[in-house]
Amino acid sequence: MAKIKNLRENPPKKKSELTKESMLLYMKDKSVSKDEKIWFFNLMESNRKEKVNNLTHETGIGYDLTKIREEFAKKYFPELYSTKKKYNKAKTFEDRLKELLED
């Protein structure tokens, strides 16, 4: 199992580094107030959802990590939070063909 990243010692460079375990470790720190811990608990509970395991087809409980990371980053790592959404437009074959002529 991979070592859980301590977000206080090694701040994340991208939101994908905010894992459930690393956020929980961050919140367990003694310097975090009780109100912030309650906020995190409520954030996790409000983004809890039922998921289906694609392999076993069993239903289980999971979390919407995209929303959780967004809110966590907004509060604790504002440099990672972006108000603009990035949309990756898939290039069509025609777009790539036109790029061939641009070089």
State residue 48's pLDDT score. Answer: 94
Confidence of residue 8 (pLDDT cuts 50, 70, 90): confident
d(CA 22, CA 29): 11
Altogether, the residues listed in the chain come to a count of 103
In a domain, 64, yes or no: yes
In a domain, 6, yes or no: no
Ordered alpha helix ranges (H), 5-92: 20-27, 34-46, 65-76
| Residue 42 · residue 55 · CB < 8 Å | no
pLDDT-above-90 percentage for the chain: 47
In a domain, 42, yes or no: yes
Q: Which domain holds residue 70?
A: 15-102
**Tens-place pLDDT, residues 46-93:** 999 998 888 998 999 999 999 999 999 999 999 887 755 555 566 777
In a domain, 90, yes or no: yes
d(CA 73, CA 47): 15
In a domain, 43, yes or no: yes
What is the model's pTM? 0.70
pLDDT of 2 > 70? The answer is no
State residue 98's pLDDT score. Answer: 79
In a domain, 86, yes or no: yes
